[in-house]
Amino acid sequence: MIYNELGKTGKRVSAIGLGCEHLDGKPYEQVKEVIDAAVENGINLFDVFMPGREVRENIAKALGSRRDQVMIQGHIGSTDIHEQYDVSRDLPSVKKYFEEMLGIFGYIDFGMMFFIDTEKDYKDVFETDFVDYVLRLKEQGDIRHIGFSSHNPITAAKVISTGVPDMMMFSINPAFDMLPSEEYIFDHIETDMGVKLYRGLDPKRAELYRICSANQVGITVMKSLGGGKLISEEHSPFAKPLTVPQCIHYALSRPSVASVMVGAQTREEVQSAVGYFDMDEADKDYSQVIATMKNDFQGNCVYCGHCHPCPVEIDIAAVNKYLDIARLTPNQVPPSVRSHYHSLLHRGDECIGCRSCEERCPFGVSVVENMKEADRLFGE
């Protein structure tokens, strides 16, 4: 297992986390099988957004004395008052469901303000007593860090601008990243995933990831498979389907992403997910699939690593990632981004201009010019 820093939380989370939604309604023995497999394979981050008491109790019982070995994302505002998953900002209902979760797990590592997608969602959280309740939970130690979940890059960026959250859970995959930010993903996920609207990487989504990096807001990922459509021969919006490892690899290569939450309902599914770490880089390479729309991606680095190896061992994808973040504020590069850049063993100033990377790049990125710009922006 690989562990990544989750933004400024100070926590190191497993690069693959367990999305527990598929354990809802399953018998305790099956829940225990999955939880045991996850812990045994080094998974230390669980997402528990489901409001039902039984599934929460089953997860807690399966963890037993291992509670402190894992970190839990628990969602504030997730209810089932209509006998289904519901979003609520009604404070009595919110408190009822979240404090029930606290009673079951003892504390929640990441208290997630649930489902902030629209301007109304934003106002219902930040212009009411809802946010005061969340802040109070943190002050009391009931939650250790404040996070939120969202599917909309514009709203998510506005939430981050408040300075309240340390991290967020966001829907990330190649198809969603190409969907215009003004589109609502749930209007398309059941149809063609909005393929007719694709015009390359949506600038608002790309900017969101860079804003997160600049502000040290860590990201955990949901919907990396696009509801299963990206891995479906019939429903993939690309010329051929992606594989599960390719979807995981794409999400993990986005700026600020620390963990991809993978759903599982059997031991075998957990083991299959963590098998990602034993695969060759070529088997995880997503660039050739999304390059079927290469005109839309021309000139944009997607951090796929297809440019490697570099003869002087520059991590070109990492340099490009930090450069893209720095371009947001070129006159005042965030110290954390500058520090990450200078921690690289080999940096842009070492580029010899051989352009072998550019020959391999599926998207025509001007790598040599980027290395020069990185040296200029990050130079001592």
> What's the first-to-final CA gap in the chain, in angstroms?
35
Secondary structure (3-state) at 209: helix
255-314 pLDDT tens trace: 899 999 999 999 999 999 999 999 998 899 888 787 766 445 677 787 877 788 899 999
Higher pLDDT, 197 or 359: 359
Once rounded to an integer, what is the mean pLDDT over residues 100-110? 97
Tokens coding 250: 């794409």
Once rounded to an integer, what is the mean pLDDT over residues 192-202? 68
Confidence of residue 45 (pLDDT cuts 50, 70, 90): very high
Instruction: Write down the mean pLDDT value for the chain.
Output: 89
128-176 pLDDT tens trace: 999 999 999 999 999 999 999 999 999 999 999 999 999 999 999 988 8
**DSSP states along 263-297:** E-SSHHHHHHHHGGGGS-HHHH--HHHHGGGHHHH
Q: Residue 26 above 80 pLDDT?
A: yes
- Measured from the Cβ of residue 315, the count of other Cβ atoms closer than 10 Å reads 17
DSSP 241: P
| Residue linked to tokens 């770490």 | 277
Residues 6+ apart with CB under 8 A from 322: 337, 340, 341, 374, 378
Q: To 5 degrees, how large is the angle CA 271–CA 254–CA 356?
A: 100
Whole-angstrom Cα distance, residue 119 to residue 220?
22
Does the predicted model carry a pTM greater than 0.85?
no
Given this model, what pLDDT does residue 364 score? Answer: 85
Closest CA to 243 of 286, 201, 194: 286
φ/ψ of residue 148, rounded to 5 = -155, 160
Given this model, what pLDDT does residue 121 score? Answer: 95
Given this model, what pLDDT does residue 177 score? Answer: 85
Given this model, what pLDDT does residue 301 score? Answer: 80
Residue type, 306: H
Cβ-count burial 251-283 (b if 16+ within 10 Å, e if not): bbbbbbbbbbbbbbbebeebeebbebeeeeeee
* Extended strands (E) in the chain: 3-5, 12-14, 16-19, 45-48, 71-76, 78-79, 86-87, 108-113, 143-150, 167-171, 218-222, 257-263
Given this model, what pLDDT does residue 326 score? Answer: 80
Tokens coding 276: 């990602």
Given this model, what pLDDT does residue 182 score? Answer: 74
Work out the burial of residue 125: count CB atoms within 10 Å of its CB; fewer than 13 is exposed, 13-18 middle, 19 or more buried.
buried
217-260 pLDDT tens trace: 999 999 998 888 888 888 888 888 899 999 999 999 998 999 99
| Residue linked to tokens 């998207």 | 363
46-93 pLDDT tens trace: 999 999 999 999 999 999 999 999 999 999 999 987 656 788 999 999
